Structure 1
C-alpha cells in the first residue's frame, strides 16, 4: 500500500484499508489521498474534528466510483503537531483512523565561509542636466520676468520658446544616453 492510498471494497463489500503509519505533511502543502474503489460505487466520509489548528477542513462526504484524488489543505501558519482523520464507509458500519503529523521542514543555515551569491547592482544612469538646458531655463526665466515688467508680447513668446527648447534638449539628451 502506498503511503496516501485508501482502498475501498478490495477485500469485501464496504471494506476499508487506510495507511497504518502516521502520514507526515509539511505546513502549507495539501495532504493528498488517492481513493481507489475495487467494487460498486460507495460513499466515503472524511472528518477531522481535532484539526482546527492545522486546516479549515472538518468534514467531507465523497461519492467514489472508481478512483479519485482528495486533497486536504494544511495551513501555512500551522505549528507542528498531530491530528486524526476519521474515515467512514458502509453507512457508518466501517470506520478507521489515519494519524497525520504536521511538520515544519528544517531550514538549513548557510555556512559563513560559503560565498554568497552576487546579485548585479543596478546603477542609475547619470541624470545631470546639460549646461545648454540650464542656459535656456535661465534665459527663459529672465525673459518672462522682463515681460511681466514691460508687457511686450514678443518677450512672453520668446520666454515660452526658450523654456520649451530647454525641455526638448533635456528630453533628447536622455533618449540618446
Structure 2
C-alpha cells in the first residue's frame, strides 16, 4: 500500500500540492489522503490511461476537511505508467501524478527444504490382509467341523489359498 498526502488550498485558492511521481508494485493500493486547508470545494480524481492498471475511473468529491480515497492496482497489471489527475476549480486547475507500476518482487528462498519421502505402507497393508484372510479361513474351517456341509468346507480352503497367494506375491 502506497500512501501519500494531497494538499488542497494551501498556497492559494484551488492549489494542489502532491508528489509528481509514485512507484509501486502491481497488486498494491494507492491511498490518497486529500486534505483541504481552505474553504470546502468540489474536486475530481481520475485515472488517465489507467484501464490496464486499475478498475478505478474517476471520482467526484466534495472536500470539506479530509477524505481518504483508495485506488486499487490490479495484481496482473503490466509494467508501465498511468496518471492520476486531480482537478479543482471546475476544471481550471489540473495536477497529474505519474504512477509507475512495476512487477511484484518474488522472494525465492536460498535454501530449499527437502520434502521427506512418504512412507511405504504397502507391506503393512498386505500383512494385515494376509492375516485377516488366514484368520477368517481358520475360523470358517473350525465352524465347518461343527456344522458340516459343502459351503463351510470350500470357503476356508478358498480363503487360505488366497492368503497364501497374496503372501507369496508380496513377500519382502
TM-score (norm 1): 0.64
Say if 1:93 and 1:140 are closer, same or farther in 2 by CA, change over 3 A: farther
CA RMSD of aligned residues (A): 3.3
Whether 2:3 is the aligned partner of 1:7: answer no
Using the TM superposition, give the Cα deviation of residue 133 of structure 1 relative to its aligned residue in structure 2, in angstroms. Answer: 2.6
Moved more, 53-62 or 99-108: 99-108
Q: Which has the higher strand share?
A: 2
* Deviation string, structure 1 residues 87-108 (Cα, Å, up to 9, x no partner): 1112222211111100114446
1:43 alignment counterpart: 42
Q: Using the alignment, how far apart are the partners of 1:129 and 1:42 within structure 2?
A: 83
| Structure 2: runs of 5 or more not aligned | 144-148, 156-172
Q: 1:116 aligns with which of 99, 108, 112?
A: 112
Using the TM superposition, give the Cα deviation of residue 16 of structure 1 relative to its aligned residue in structure 2, in angstroms. Answer: 1.5
Say if 1:138 and 1:59 are closer, same or farther in 2 by CA, change over 3 A: farther
1:104 alignment counterpart: 103
Using the TM superposition, give the Cα deviation of residue 82 of structure 1 relative to its aligned residue in structure 2, in angstroms. Answer: 0.6
Say if 1:98 and 1:129 are closer, same or farther in 2 by CA, change over 3 A: same
| Structure 1: runs of 5 or more not aligned | 144-148, 160-177
Q: Using the alignment, how far apart are the partners of 2:139 and 2:49 within structure 1?
A: 77
2:52 alignment counterpart: 53
Say if 1:128 and 1:16 are closer, same or farther in 2 by CA, change over 3 A: same
* Deviation string, structure 1 residues 26-72 (Cα, Å, up to 9, x no partner): 00111111111122332221111311111111111122232232111
TM-score (norm 2): 0.65
1:83 alignment counterpart: 82
